[in-house]
Chains A and B, each alone.
Chain A
């Protein structure tokens, strides 16, 4: 007498799960009959058995179908390789990588001429980093770095071509009246900037 697995009233993939469970519990050669009441489950179980080289007999009845087969000697075993484990980066909901925040056209406090040279050097070095930032946000006098006439525009252009977003504070652009002279960058508002800064992504401020 075949063992009965009654899957009536179940939807995919539960009938297959019950079938598989019974196969694992049984010895090779034992007969199992699975009863299902929907055509999708029937089709999927048949396909599963066929793919695993198991022959079966199907009986169609008015309200249900039964599939009878003998448990094979061998069936696919779970892959024993250790499963890799890798969670999404620590803060999964934010852009990993980092944002560079520039709050001035110069780098560091002290001589402004030196500060300008340092900023220019910083921007061109960014491109050589192994991990490049996802975005550069400029506010206050840092927006002048994106001016067509500035000696940093070309570098920022290159950075932008590498897919790194350059965001300019709109209020600052308007304050300095630069809107028509920008070579690069996307003008944004304080809400956006505040959101980006509070999103938990790492912020680098030279």
Chain B
């Protein structure tokens, strides 16, 4: 197969392509909706996925996500996209088991083998996660887009949500920030091969290990970091958990090369959009400009952000590191409050 660079088809990719959070929030509340006491989580709490109770100890988690290419290689795009879609189930403490492919592919403009590779990449990642892909839907469209709709299961008593942060929790982030910046830099040929490869590896990494550790320590509040950037997702959690959050910017894990890319002006548009979304509720005290922009960089297939009871925080961190998630860091803590964030 001739090498086809998927990044040549898009100006922005991955979760960078999300509609601005504020715009979305203005639309959703007005929709008519069915009331059913078995709906445990829907979009009103801005969570990672919807949750429906089937019985006292069994609930389904439903989620979907798709986006245009975030990397050059089609197989890797399939892998990253699948890891990203499945991640929402892990973020809720669940176990993914079924999925459907959602694809848009311009069959007359790009060799069909490229599509085959995307599907193969997604299938391999799904296998790794023990997820069966049992169907899908394809539309002819340019640029290509791909993702999964995923179903997971969870014991409702052990559900982990955006609104589950408790004052006193330490916040742990399990993957390094800066995937949006790195992908933008790849398109502009500003990034070294090595830094790009590392970013790709992290985007391909499932959040399954982070989820198993999280469940061991009875975490009640977590999310995965994607298109709204670290601060966007933190703000949503702070609001729905009715707490304040403080972040120590110096502790944040960042992909290699990203700080200097930002300093060279490689700041994707999505970061500015995310900054606008959060800035009224975030107070920055002596935070380096570059680091501030990294904190709003839209992530693709980012890590889990979990609130761990103080006494288990170091142990949790150690286990995450032992599991190979070597960028895991305690980045801040949760306090009493009502939806504000303080970064210093």
Point out residues on A near B: beta carbons under 8 Å: 11-14, 16-21, 24, 40, 43-44, 47-48, 51-52, 76-79, 83-90, 92-97, 130-131, 134, 162-164, 192, 195, 199
Residue B201 at the chain A interface, CB threshold 8 Å: yes
The 9 closest A-B pairs by CB, nearest first: A89-B324, A20-B265, A96-B324, A12-B269, A78-B263, A17-B265, A16-B265, A86-B326, A163-B212
Residue B240 at the chain A interface, CB threshold 8 Å: no
A-chain residues with CB within 8 Å of residue B256 when the two chains form the complex: 83-85
Q: Check B264 against A21 for contact (C-beta < 8 Å).
A: yes
A-chain residues with CB within 8 Å of residue B288 when the two chains form the complex: 76, 79
Task: Name the residue of chain A whose CB is nearest to the CB of B275.
Answer: A47
Main secondary structure of the interface of A (DSSP, over half): loop
Q: Check B264 against A17 for contact (C-beta < 8 Å).
A: yes
Q: Report how far A17 CA is from B184 CA in the complex, Å.
A: 11
Residue B12 at the chain A interface, CB threshold 8 Å: yes
Q: Check A88 against B259 for contact (C-beta < 8 Å).
A: no
With both chains docked as a complex, state the minimum distance between the C-beta of B135 and any C-beta of chain A, in angstroms.
19
Q: Check A163 against B259 for contact (C-beta < 8 Å).
A: no
Interface pick from B43-51, B102-110, B203-211, B304-312: B203-211
Give residues of chain B (11-25) contacting chain A, Cβ–Cβ below 8 Å: 11-12
With both chains docked as a complex, state the minimum distance between the C-beta of A40 and any C-beta of chain B, in angstroms.
5
Q: Report how far A11 CA is from B188 CA in the complex, Å.
A: 10
Q: Report how far A84 CA is from B251 CA in the complex, Å.
A: 11
Task: Name the residue of chain A whose CB is nearest to the CB of B328.
Answer: A86
Q: Check A77 against B213 for contact (C-beta < 8 Å).
A: no
Q: Check B11 against A11 for contact (C-beta < 8 Å).
A: yes
A-chain residues with CB within 8 Å of residue B254 when the two chains form the complex: 83-84
Residue B146 at the chain A interface, CB threshold 8 Å: no
Residue B289 at the chain A interface, CB threshold 8 Å: yes
